[in-house]
Amino acid sequence: MQKLFYPKKNMFKNPLIKNMCEYRDLVDEFDKDYEGTWAKFANEKIDWFKPYDQILDESNAPFYKWFTGGQMNVAHQCVDRHLETKKNKAAIIFEGDNGDQRILTYRELAYEVNKTANMFKNNFGVKKGDRVVIYMPMIPESAIVMLACAKIGAIHSVVFGGFSAEALRDRIIDAEAKLVVTADGAYRKGKPYMLKPVVDIALSSGCECVQNVCVVERNGENIEWIAGRDYSYNELIKEQSSKCQTEPMDSEDPLFLLYTSGSTGKPKGVQHSSAGYILWAQMTMEWVFDIQDNDTFWCTADVGWITGHTYIVYGPLAAGATTVMFEGVPTFPDAGRCWKMVEEYQINQFYTAPTAIRLLHKMGADEPTKYDLSSLRILGTVGEPIDPPAWKWYYEVVGNSNCSIVDTYWQTETGGHVISPLPVATPIKPACATFALPGIIAEVIESDGTPTEIGEKGLMCITKPWPAMIRTIWNNDERFIKSYFGDCKKEGKAIYFSGDGAMIDEDGYITITGRTDDVINVSGHRMGTAEVESAIKKHDNVASVAVVGKPHEIKGEGIFAYVVLKSVPTTQKDQTAEEFALAKEINAMIKTEIGAIALCDGMIFVSDLPKTRSGKVMRRILRSIAKGEKITQDISTLENPNIVKSIEKIFNS
């Protein structure tokens, strides 16, 4: 039986969900009247301009519609409605890579959003339904531009600032964007980097839809200005009025597109609606992060990803909270940067990725003890299953064994959290997502809808529509159905399949086992990479690891591991000997944890893994290396593109 960690209730003054009884009461409420309970929360949370006529329209499943006939506006929900009671409260706290700071109150944020919205209308002719691509660094203008688009009904599509010109071009063309908003550049690890030149390359061919480029001058670098196309945000904003009419938006009007990359083929433009998305963003901020009126909330993600959309911009602001935006990286100028900010801003909720947690642990295991982190109540994880050693350090050292850890499971397509502990209610099992949130009907099943046995791996599905779910893939309804509703059925009805595997234990706790396409078929046995990686990470000297499948003459597919160590010997001779011994130790641990079927057939020790700047390990690249294939993927978006050649050299030596 896995040890349970119970919430320290003395850390919470007035939680919204106080215990598991209240959680179960909410679950029962949804069970008894699913649509009616959603309507209750929609009426409580959303400032409607016009009431809706129908709660849920299932007539054209799986193209579900929520709160049809209703009108509202997401920018109003996030900014304008707070002006009566919170106008002088900090809405956004910004800290730049080089330490510069800026605080925007809700009144100041409204002022900037209105001026930007007027600029889009007056100078660029942007109107309701037009698409605006945002290619920006982590600065306040990113959030301002997103909200300005929402204010006037334009559909924004944020493209992560680390993507290449080719990736940017693909997204601009697919969205048929009228306007691109970018910055001259920004700062990273103390040095300026450029964004506008990437936009210029992207627009050099095939982007005839783009009429203008609006450039925020962040770092003052010299850039090329194309007359008649490029305009300075900083100059145009000066002449705009601070009053702007809010566009009434139907509940199902698109709010944004966010492109996700599949393993092959064209990026998918995930389309989210207005009312359903913002409702769930606000509800999960309140339930999962127990957001209180005086809290300061920090999500370390980038606005180029869904985590940044929902838990830097829309969720915190809809809840009337103070949200922190950070331009830099967590280890610059040293591994204490995050903890220094927690102390300085008295942050109450800290939300980051397991990759970042492992990095911070590796580079400064004792750094958190040098700072006053007593303001923290909740520590969150996002993006991938967290391994037990990282969880233990996060809980014991960062949280001083007092903070609740919310290991959140969700996707770009779900809009917000779908499985997560509740910080004051849920007894936690380390590295376990725990239970579905009230209103989310999550089930672990076989493809025909049959529930899996306790402890058996199955498919993670959501069997009823929910308000924040993806509406379609932009301009590709067929791909939408095939991608999310083509694999699983229940009672003959197509249901949402997340693409992830999961299992339920004897207590009903859900553990995510990883992508089903990250499964290695060893002698006919399906092995989840997350499970093998979790076993390897239990070795004291393992900092991080990625496991992939490699062709095997006998087994069909074998397991190959790329391992990053916390410490390595200084001489080549000692290193070779120790790595040989470590490989034996690690395989012994795997045999103990999982069984001989999961032993690694190959293992190399590398200095780092190929990761995006958001911390996602690019296993496609590692699979190609293991198979001896030529790397054809775009590696320009990696945190360190040079690591690919380094790994190839080690693999081939």
pLDDT of residue 524: 52
pLDDT at 636 exceeding the cut of 80: no
pLDDT tens readout for residues 309-349: 999 999 999 999 999 999 998 999 999 999 999 999 999 99
pLDDT of residue 110: 98
CATH of the domain at 537: 3.30.300.30
pLDDT at 139 exceeding the cut of 50: yes
Which tokens is 158 given? 């944020």
pLDDT at 520 exceeding the cut of 90: no
Which tokens is 271 given? 């389309």
pLDDT of residue 570: 62
The more confident residue out of 128 and 581 is 128
pLDDT of residue 591: 82
pLDDT tens readout for residues 598-631: 899 999 999 999 987 667 788 889 989 999 988 8
pLDDT at 264 exceeding the cut of 60: no
Residue 9 DSSP class: G
pLDDT tens readout for residues 432-477: 999 999 999 999 999 889 999 999 999 999 999 999 999 999 999 9
E strands along 108-253, which residues?
A: 131-135, 155-158, 179-183, 185-188, 191-194, 212-216, 230-232, 249-250
Tell me, yes or no, whether 567 lies in a domain. yes
Q: In this predicted structure, which of 37-46, 254-263, 422-431 has the lowest mean pLDDT?
A: 254-263
Pair 17, 424: CB distance under 8 Å: yes
Tell me, yes or no, whether 84 lies in a domain. no
Tell me, yes or no, whether 583 lies in a domain. yes
pLDDT at 633 exceeding the cut of 80: no
In the beta sheet, which residues pair with residue 187? 192
pLDDT of residue 267: 78
pLDDT at 575 exceeding the cut of 80: no
Residue 92 DSSP class: E
pLDDT at 263 exceeding the cut of 60: no
pLDDT of residue 638: 83
Residue 434 DSSP class: B
pLDDT tens readout for residues 342-360: 999 999 999 998 888 988 9
Which tokens is 142 given? 């990113």
Tell me, yes or no, whether 529 lies in a domain. yes
The mean per-residue pLDDT over the stretch 513-530 comes to 72
The mean per-residue pLDDT over the stretch 370-379 comes to 97
Tell me, yes or no, whether 256 lies in a domain. no
The mean per-residue pLDDT over the stretch 276-286 comes to 98
Tell me, yes or no, whether 76 lies in a domain. no
Count: domains in the chain = 1
545 lies in which domain range? 518-652
Tell me, yes or no, whether 297 lies in a domain. no
Tell me, yes or no, whether 548 lies in a domain. yes
Mean pLDDT value across the chain: 92
pLDDT at 152 exceeding the cut of 50: yes
Taking the C-alpha atoms of residue 154 and residue 133, their distance in angstroms, rounded to an integer, is 10
pLDDT of residue 616: 77
pLDDT of residue 556: 73
The mean per-residue pLDDT over the stretch 174-196 comes to 95
pLDDT at 262 exceeding the cut of 50: no
The mean per-residue pLDDT over the stretch 203-228 comes to 95
Pair 612, 162: CB distance under 8 Å: yes
What is the torsion angle, in degrees rounded to the nearest 10, for the CA atoms of residue 422, residue 426, residue 431 and residue 437?
Answer: -50
